[in-house]
Amino acid sequence: MNLELWAAQEVGDFLNVSRQRVSQLATQHDWPEPIATLAVGRIWLADDIRAWAARHGRPVPVDEPDEGA
């Protein structure tokens, strides 16, 4: 099983927001729980962030494969 892990920089790149905005979003009640906290910060499963984005109507970036394709 290959898990894709994202820190705030990768989450921000995916959502097209700053790392600071990721920190703000992470305070929301429905934001995914990080799977770890390391020296670089919180780490999330990419699939959890993708699911959150889908629930909130965030467009999937064009370089991300569409799961329905």
Reading the block at residue 35, the tokens are: 């799977």
Neighbours of 44 (CB within 10 A): 23
pLDDT tens for 25-51 read 999 999 999 999 999 999 999 999 999
Specify the higher pLDDT residue, 62 or 12.
12
Average pLDDT, the chain: 88
Reading the block at residue 36, the tokens are: 């770890």
For 1-69, where are the alpha helices, taking DSSP H only?
8-15, 19-25, 46-55
Reading the block at residue 4, the tokens are: 């894709």
Specify the higher pLDDT residue, 3 or 1.
3
**How many whole angstroms separate alpha carbon 58 and alpha carbon 50?**
9
